[in-house]
Structure 1
Amino acid sequence: MHEAHSHAEPRLNGCPWHDVNEMLQSVGLRPTRQRMALGWLLFGKGDRHLTAEMLYEEASQAKVPVSLATVYNTLNQLTDVGLLRQVSVDGTKTYFDTNVSAHQHFYLENNHELIDIPNAELELKATPDVPEGYEIARVDVVVRLRKKG
């Protein structure tokens, strides 16, 4: 169940800064200095799962002057336009995934880490009937793991 987006998914190649600019413009977001810097941190390192706090910490270390509120706003804007996928682990932890393809996750409870489950390893046999006028947008499965012993 892959979400359909009205925009063509831009491919990251060449200079990441240029790619982030194109990516933002392709979904109608103005490439402000803060969006550019946060996008560069988010998308310049391959597929990642980050909380707002983790990205804020990275931004601080990279000397990017942003508030935590700006980080949250930017992550939500990028999610709304389909560049990020939001994965809720429990009531208190929300991760933002740079891989928006259909896939599921392991959550490593001991170190609070979210990692991808390869698609072939999880099979959903059936989905429930949905109320009239609704359709399933996507199914999120989070398999929680903890160290033995």
Structure 2
Amino acid sequence: MTDQQHHQDLVERVRQAGLRPTRQRVALARLLFGHGSARHVTAEQLHSEAKAAAMPVSLATVYNALNQFTEAGLLREVVVEPGRSYFDTNTDPHHHFYFETSGQLQDIPAHEVELARTPEAPAGTHVDRVEVMIRVREDG
């Protein structure tokens, strides 16, 4: 695939998600989805990548784009603790290992986690999804 085709695919992906494909959104989409594999990034990490790629974008714009991509279904937000979120490019059902020392996330395929029972949802609601985060600490 040529760079121009890849750019057009990203423009179309953003457009199909219901968002206007602005230059900054498409540039951030290239950083997020251009690697071909699932990624877990914080807003700060993505902002650093944008700066390293000479993209003139503020941290506030990165946060706005990540939140818009999440609302549009292009990303999933994974909150690991209050005030610390990762944005996951894998939107399929799955779970995570969270490495507490390094702060890294690792996907766990959904079929590898079995729940015997979940509580009944409160009246007037339904369970949308169940996400399991297994916190691990490196030995040593």
- TM-score w.r.t. the length of structure 1 is 0.87
Which of these residues, 56, 59, 76, is aligned with residue 65 of structure 1?
56
The alignment yields a C-alpha RMSD, in angstroms, of 1.3
Deviation at 1:100, TM superposition (A): 0.3
1: CA distance, partners of 2:79 / 2:51: 24
Structure 2 partner of 1:133: 124
Structure 2 partner of 1:96: 87
Deviation at 1:81, TM superposition (A): 0.8
Q: Which moved more, 1:13-22 or 1:61-70?
A: 13-22
Does the 8 Å CA contact 1:47/1:98 hold for their aligned counterparts? yes
Kindly indicate which of the two structures has a greater share of residues assigned to strand. 2
Structure 2 partner of 1:24: 14
User: Gaps spanning 5+ residues in structure 1: where?
Assistant: 1-12
Which amino acid is 1:35 matched to? Answer: R
> Aligned residue pairs: how many?
137
Which of these residues, 3, 27, 47, is aligned with residue 56 of structure 1?
47
Does the 8 Å CA contact 1:88/1:94 hold for their aligned counterparts? yes
Does the 8 Å CA contact 1:106/1:145 hold for their aligned counterparts? yes
1: CA distance, partners of 2:17 / 2:109: 28
Q: Which has the higher contact order (CA 8 A, sep 6+)?
A: 1
Q: Which moved more, 1:77-86 or 1:18-27?
A: 18-27
Does the 8 Å CA contact 1:51/1:95 hold for their aligned counterparts? yes
Pair 1:118-2:118 in alignment: no
1: CA distance, partners of 2:52 / 2:114: 40
Following superposition of structure 1 onto structure 2, how do residues 74-89 of structure 1 map, counting pairs within 5 Å?
74-89=65-80
Which amino acid is 2:25 matched to? Answer: R
In percent, how many aligned pairs have the same letter?
Answer: 52
User: Gaps spanning 5+ residues in structure 2: where?
Assistant: none
1: CA distance, partners of 2:122 / 2:113: 26
Where has structure 1 moved over 4 Å in runs of 4 or more? none
Kindly indicate which of the two structures has a greater share of residues assigned to helix. 2
